[in-house]
Chains A and B, each alone.
Chain A
Amino acid sequence: MRKGWKFVGILFVVVLFLGVVFLGVGFLTGGDAERIFQVADASLSITDSFNNYQEFFEDPQNFENLLQGLPF
């Protein structure tokens, strides 16, 4: 298990480091977060999904309906 922790820890640090490097290079070379978000929203419908979840959690009746719909 210790070897597992060591292996996963090293892999995690390496991948995270690479990700941070990519992010840094991207932003340094002119990457724009707002532009990226617009493209992502258009492609993945992030705003719509977020609004749907927000509506669901705001109304307690939705939880009751969900629980009633469960098979047990």
Chain B
Amino acid sequence: MNEQKFLTELSKLLTFMYEEDRQVALSMYEQMFSFADDETALLQFLGSPTKQAVMIARAYNAKERKLAVTSQSGERQADIAGNETPAFVRTIMNIHTGAENLELIRPEVIEDQISIFGKDEEDEDLFVPEEEPAAVVEEPEVELPSSELPELSLEMPEEAASFLADAEGGKAPEQDTAAPTKKTEEKPELPEDSPAENYMLDLGPVPEKPRSEESEINITMAAFDQPERKQKAEESAPAAQTTLSEFEQTPPEPAHPWRKEAPPQEVRSGKPSTLLLILYLIAAVPIVSAGVLILLVPALVFFALAVFTGISAFRVLMLAFGNFAVFADIMVVLGASLVLFALALLLFWIFLWFVISAISGLINAAIRLGGKICYKEGKDV
């Protein structure tokens, strides 16, 4: 299995989704592969395409998506980028985050944030953990299968919690420590098919903070696992606080390339030429009125014919019941009645077509022509 096969197979399995949603999902997986250092490890992490499709299917609400796709098909990108992130997108984002935490894929960090880290070399030592996942795995006591790694990275030590309490004013860490512990307790009841699935179930919805900030917190938490780094980090706590506050000031970045903003559309408008408009109205109104009257004549003829044929058909139909003793004659009269009804229907439809299409088409054409002649086109934007 390679990336291409994985995506092809996944694409086939996601045919239950709306085309727009399927494209979004596939582009998110492509994005994961493009950021992957080791494709095989990522494939191992994701499991089979079927598992991924099942996870997406669980989160996919077809009825809800139908409304979103049909009503906002023109504003698709805006919808995804906005607050109403679809559940299946959140699921894939959680998997993405899980892969990032395991360092299977590089975290998406914008240039400005890299420069923030570059300011202090000591911080750089702290925030770039080297060989940490390996260290965790190599601990002899633990010896857990790779599927349980995410659980480890989510458990926040008390020291880390107190550090984050200092850094963020003592609000968030309490919630953060409570949530993973609670979810770890629920863990045995959940199916453990693949590491990616565990991540989806453990992490819950992705917070709306910038991704790089989240990555930084995870990395910081991992750094506290090692005692020699703990001391160093406590010393540099004020610097870390500054970094966090700088992140809070950073405007929300376009976290994923699939959330491209639609290019600004040109709005066309025109300035009316008053003289031309008056002249056009003087000429057009009588001409169009005459045209409408001319078209009304055949329309009314067709209407009269339709009414006459319809009445005749009805009278013939009534004649068939009670006036004939021979069955064959009744059949003939009924046949004639049906033929007349068919003709009446056709004639009445032609009358309607004349009124709706021909007459209203003539009026619309006159209005459009007036717009072309009397308005000078210009670009506002």
Contact = CB atoms under 8 A, between A and B. Distances in A.
Contacts of B43: none
Interface string A1-14: 10011001001100
B319 A18 contact: no
Contacts of B333: 26, 36, 40
Contacts of A12: 342, 345-346
Q: How large is the interface on A (under 10, 10 to 19, 20 to 34, 35 or more residues)?
A: 20 to 34
B323 A39 contact: yes
A45 to B, nearest CB: 11
A21 B335 contact: yes
A36 B353 contact: no
A3 to B, nearest CB: 12
Contact of B332 (A5, A16, A22): A22
B338 interface: yes
Q: Give the interface SS of chain B, mostly helix, strand, loop or mixed.
A: helix
A18 B338 contact: yes
B332 A8 contact: no
A26 B324 contact: no
A18 to B, nearest CB: 5
Contact of B319 (A4, A33, A44): A44
B341 interface: yes
A8 B339 CA distance: 14
Contacts of B331: 22-23, 25-26, 29, 31
Which of A4, A15, A16, A44 has the most chain B CB within a 10 Å cutoff?
A: A15
A53 to B, nearest CB: 13
Contacts of B353: 1, 4-5
Interface residues of B, number: 29
A67 to B, nearest CB: 18
B274 to A, nearest CB: 36
Contacts of A21: 335
B340 to A, nearest CB: 8
A43 to B, nearest CB: 6
Nearest to B316: A40
B94 interface: no
Given A8-B349, A15-B342, A19-B338, A26 B332 contact: yes
Nearest to A1: B357
B334 interface: yes
Given A22-B335, A24-B335, A43-B319, A35 B349 contact: no
B335 A19 contact: yes
Contacts of A58: none
Given A1-B353, A25-B331, A29-B327, A19 B346 contact: no
B356 interface: yes
Question: Which of B327, B332, B346 counts the most chain A CB atoms within 10 A?
Answer: B332
B345 A35 contact: no
B52 interface: no
Given A1-B357, A39-B323, A44-B319, A23 B329 contact: no
B315 interface: yes
A1 to B, nearest CB: 6
B6 to A, nearest CB: 43
A16 B342 contact: yes
A32 interface: yes
A22 B324 contact: no
A30 B340 CA distance: 22
B285 to A, nearest CB: 24
A44 B339 CA distance: 19
Contact of B324 (A16, A18, A36): A36
Contacts of B356: 1
CB-CB nearest 5 A-B residue pairs: A22-B335, A19-B338, A26-B331, A23-B335, A26-B332
Interface of A: 1, 4-5, 8, 11-12, 15-16, 18-27, 29-33, 35-36, 39-40, 43-44
11 contacts: A1-B353, A4-B349, A15-B338, A15-B341, A19-B337, A19-B339, A20-B339, A22-B332, A23-B336, A30-B326, A35-B329
